[in-house]
Structure 1
Amino acid sequence: MSEKTELGPNFKLWLEKEGEPIIGKGRVELLQTIEREGSLNKAAEIMNMSYRHLWGTIKKLEERLGYDLVKTIKGGKEGGGATLTEEAYQLIEEYKRLNKTIKTVIEERSP
């Protein structure tokens, strides 16, 4: 028989609405990148996705949730930009809170 390998618990968290996945680690990172960069174009580049895919992902999330996650500012002198709505911040914080809670429980109960 081969050597015993230590196994331990792990998890992936995502939030759902009516059985449909809404947000997980990747989408949280996407929203945080938009906020940090202040630009959908820059966020798409950093996340290695097309602008169209990024925008479609955001719009699909907003449609499922029933509220906006991103506010865009049209170009002009300042060049436009994007920022998150208060609801987006709340969604991110809820995800992070739940993730931390579950991680703590797993760590406390692991050998």
Structure 2
Amino acid sequence: METSAYVLRTHVWFETSKGNMVFGLGRVLLLQKVQEFGSLNKAAQAMNMSYRAAWGKIRSTEEEVGGPLLVREKGRRGFVLTDLGRELLDSYTAFQNEVEAFANEKALARFPWSVRPYQDSDRE
């Protein structure tokens, strides 16, 4: 058995009782890219998805959470995150960090090898 630290990966998302995706890492990455580029089209391209797929994911989440995540930037063609979009992005990021810290702590206590979080991984 290899004795170097293993990287612990967690993936947490929210879905409806029928199994439809509401919010998770993919939506977070999409919102981060929109924030970075100011463009849903560029965000979609950066994530190797079509604009239509990206827009569908945003609309689906907006319908579930009851409000817009993005709005058109005044005087421009791009998008900016709404207060709700920023709140979901920030809340999920903090939540995911807490889940990973808890999972890391429990893995270190239960397994006979070193564990490190994904953020510390050389793969990132």
Length-normalised TM-score, structure 2: 0.72
The reply to whether residue 110 of structure 1 matches residue 94 of structure 2 is: no
The reply to whether residue 70 of structure 1 matches residue 70 of structure 2 is: yes
Counterparts of residues 39-58 of structure 1 (less than 5 Å): 39-58=39-58
Q: Distance in 1 between matches of 2:17 and 2:65?
A: 10
**Deviation per CA, 1:49-73, whole angstroms, max 9, x where unpaired?**
1111111111111111110000013
Question: Which piece of structure 1 moves more, 29-38 or 16-25?
Answer: 16-25
**Deviation per CA, 1:15-64, whole angstroms, max 9, x where unpaired?**
23556431111110001101110011211211111111111111111111
Aligned to 1:14: 13
Aligned to 1:29: 29
Can you give the 5+ residue segments of structure 1 that lack an aligned partner in the other structure? Answer: none
AA in 2 matched with 1:83: V
Q: Distance in 2 between matches of 1:25 and 1:88?
A: 14
Structure 1 pair 52–10 and aligned structure 2 pair: CA distance change class (3 A): closer
Q: Is the CA contact (8 Å cut-off) linking 1:70 and 1:84 kept in structure 2?
A: yes
Q: Distance in 2 between matches of 1:11 and 1:54?
A: 23
Q: Percent identity?
A: 34
Instruction: Find the residue that maps to 2:48 and give its secondary structure.
Output: coil
AA in 1 matched with 2:32: Q
The reply to whether residue 96 of structure 1 matches residue 121 of structure 2 is: no
Q: CA deviation at 1:97?
A: 1.5
Q: Is the CA contact (8 Å cut-off) linking 1:68 and 1:85 kept in structure 2?
A: yes
AA in 2 matched with 1:41: N
Q: Is the CA contact (8 Å cut-off) linking 2:22 and 2:60 kept in structure 1?
A: no
Length-normalised TM-score, structure 1: 0.79
